[in-house]
Amino acid sequence: MKKRTVSLFLTTAMAAALLAGCGSSSSGTASSTASTAASTASTEAAAAASTTAEAADTTATEAASTEEIPGGRVYLLNFKPETDEAWQDLAQKYNDLGGNVTVLTAADGQYATTLQSEMAKSAAPTIFNIGSSTDAQTWDDYTYDLKDTDLYNHVSDHSLDVVYNGKVAGIANCYECYGIIYNKTILDAYCKLDGAKVTSVDDIKDFDTLKAVADDINSRVDDLNAALAGTAFDGTVTEAFASAGLDDGSSWRFSGHLANMPLYYEFKDDGVEDPTQGEATIKGTYLDNFKNVWDMYVSDSAADKATLASGSYNAEEELGMGEAVFYQNGDWEYSALTNADNGYLVTADDLDMMPIYFGVDDANEGLCVGTENHWSINAKCSQDEIDASLAFLNWVITSDEGRDAIDNTMGLSAPFDTFTGDYAPTNPFSAKASELASAGKTSVAWAFNATPNVDDWRKGVVSALTAYTDGSGDWDAVKTAFVDGWNDQWKLAHESN
């Protein structure tokens, strides 16, 4: 299950060229949800047939009857390819109850172009995804205000909402976290070696300690393998860190997720209230810290620095087969790492996650927590389509079928008050984020969501980072791509405002 952070940003000119889809536009204000009408109909029917005790006890989480489901057209354009099968199954279940839902999943890395194309059609998506306030700006005319809906009222963490132009343009349908995944079984074995830099993983609380441990592991692979004799990881270890691939399938982990760290701390210094909205110019205050972490990743790995952009490495497999001890990635990897069909040696008991210690505020740092996944409703659709779309999403987050699909099948953590008890998040990496937050650590916001013209900016950073790493370039070029590239792309992205 590879997670690729994909920009949904389209230029204002491109957005302006789109046709007003859905066949009609609605200038009126929609009812908060279609359940209001359904409730009225249910009350009238009950009065005619005399209400029974069982009907009085019916809750919102029970399966809706066909009378409660609006028949308006619903078209969901799904952002996450790995969840396609689950969404198709949910749509079928809802349609069996009387719904009219179609789901289309965009190809990996193609959501922005697919959304542009589909929105230009008369039967446009009624539900789509935005990733940030930048996307909300681009699609401002198409985002329905979700503030007075049942969906909004079920949100348990409104800090994840996308608010733009005075309206709630998007509601997070999941939250995710990332950091450094590690094999605690192998790390525990290292801690027992003579001369180990730490005696427990709990001693790793800052960048300097993490680097000392990684350096030592990478230089003592044979000793570590000897200590693992007779275990599932007998002779498997080859490196401290999994390969830091700079090909298109992996580079987002560094041009996006690792780059988030210097952006986040610089935005904090500059008093930016919401780091996910960013600022027009950056200085690169913490790029030396970025360099320190990157150098650790590539030096304490078995991967050849000269071939990181070749696409020949599989970091997930390296961690999964016990070759690597550490692997920078997110909670979306848990399902793949523990899927028996993948043939990995690691099990759920072997896995844990720690922050990307950055050498800035390590004592207070938690995991990086945020989302690029926000449901938006197409405001240009008819009122019937808007109401039907809201009703479908409300069914997804309240029904047993919907909650089971999101929690268990998709493996996502959903920020709604309906996900409790049997539907509380089961992903241990997500649980770690909550554990650290409860211990007073500060979750690192996804500042990279503010990246202007993200594909172009990241391309420049990756190119410079590749040259620096293989020896054909220097670090100053990385700084230039990072800082000047950001400032230039911001002007291009916002020049019409």
CB burial readout 398-409, b (16+ within 10 A) else e? bbebbbebbbee
Two tokens at 270?
């500059």
At 391-440, the pLDDT tens digits run 999 999 999 999 999 988 988 889 899 998 999 877 899 889 988 988 99
Element (H, E) at 398: helix 383-398
Total domains, the chain: 2
In a domain, 426, yes or no: no
Q: Where are the beta strands (DSSP E) in 96-166?
A: 101-105, 127-130, 162-164
| 155 & 277 share domain | no
In a domain, 56, yes or no: no
To the question of pTM greater than 0.75 for the whole model, the response is no
164 by DSSP, 3-state: which? strand
| 206 & 337 share domain | yes
Please give the pLDDT value at position 167: 96
Those residues of the chain that have pLDDT short of 70 are 1-21, 23-67, 496-497
Give the chain's length: 497
Residue carrying structure tokens 């389209």: 10
| 133 & 261 share domain | no
CATH number at residue 33: 3.40.190.10
| 146 & 88 share domain | yes
| 162 & 295 share domain | no
C-alpha closest to that of 315 among 238, 245, 410, 414: 245
Residue carrying structure tokens 């998007």: 170
Using alpha carbons, list the distances in angstroms from residue 376 to 125, 144, 161, 170: 10, 7, 11, 5
In a domain, 398, yes or no: yes
Q: Which domain holds residue 84?
A: 12-43+61-174+371-419
In a domain, 89, yes or no: yes
| 212 & 335 share domain | yes
Q: Are 246 and 254 in contact (CB under 8 A)?
A: yes
In a domain, 5, yes or no: no
Give the separation between CA 137 and CA 401, rounded to whole angstroms. Answer: 34
Q: Are 242 and 394 in contact (CB under 8 A)?
A: no
Q: HSE (CB half, 13 Å, CA atoms) of 480?
A: 8
In a domain, 432, yes or no: no
| 139 & 218 share domain | no
Radius of gyration of the chain (CA): 24
Using alpha carbons, list the distances in angstroms from residue 332 to 12, 176, 178, 216, 488: 32, 7, 9, 29, 32
In a domain, 483, yes or no: yes
Q: Where are the alpha helices (DSSP H) in 17-142?
A: 35-49, 53-56, 84-96, 111-119, 133-138
In a domain, 430, yes or no: no
| 161 & 198 share domain | no
The pairing of strands 127-130 and 162-164 is unpaired
User: Helices (H), strands (E): how many in the chain?
Assistant: 20, 12
| 282 & 324 share domain | yes
Please give the pLDDT value at position 494: 83
Q: What is the 3-state secondary structure (H, E, C) of 234-288?
A: CCCCCEEECCCCCCCCCCHHHHHHHCHHHHHHHHHHCCCCCHHHCCCCCCCCCHH
| 84 & 100 share domain | yes
Two tokens at 131?
């990733």
| 183 & 110 share domain | no
| 276 & 387 share domain | no
399 by DSSP, 3-state: which? coil
How many other CB atoms are there within 10 angstroms of residue 343's CB atom?
9
How many other CB atoms are there within 10 angstroms of residue 364's CB atom?
11
Q: Are 481 and 464 in contact (CB under 8 A)?
A: yes
Q: State the amino acid at position 209 in one-letter form.
A: T
Q: State the amino acid at position 241 in one-letter form.
A: F
Q: Are 475 and 311 in contact (CB under 8 A)?
A: no
